[in-house]
Amino acid sequence: ATRLVAHAFAGAGFTPRYVARAQDHVTGLAFVAAGVGLALVPQLAVGWSGFDIAYVRPTNPTPYRRIVALIRDGARTNPAAGRTIELLTELGSRLGEFNPTIRGRAPGPSWFRLIGS
């Protein structure tokens, strides 16, 4: 996340001076509401917080993040696992550019396979 923030701020022409860091979006938004500074949060965090703050979509460059799902080999034969992947794919396509692919094995246990964009 730090690289994402640094890249977004560099694209806007400045280097941030950190006075506080948050490990979650709610705390980051609370800092903004308290006047401590600004926060870069994902689209999913916008509008649900209840804080009286302004939201501005960053552009040039537009920040992005990669979200992946790990599933066990053969999990697609499980109806619940298959449906979960379908729902994640559908949600991803509604949120923006999404290209679901099977990327191969993830590092770690041999029974996980990496799915992502």
Task: Give the pLDDT confidence of 36-82 residue by residue, as tens digits.
Answer: 888 888 777 777 778 888 888 777 666 666 777 777 777 768 888 88
Neighbours of 85 (CB within 10 A): 16
| Tokens matching residue 31 | 């800092």
Which of 49, 44, 39 shows the shortest CA–CA distance to 4? 39
What is the pTM assigned to this prediction?
Answer: 0.52
pLDDT in tens, 22-39: 888 888 888 889 988 888
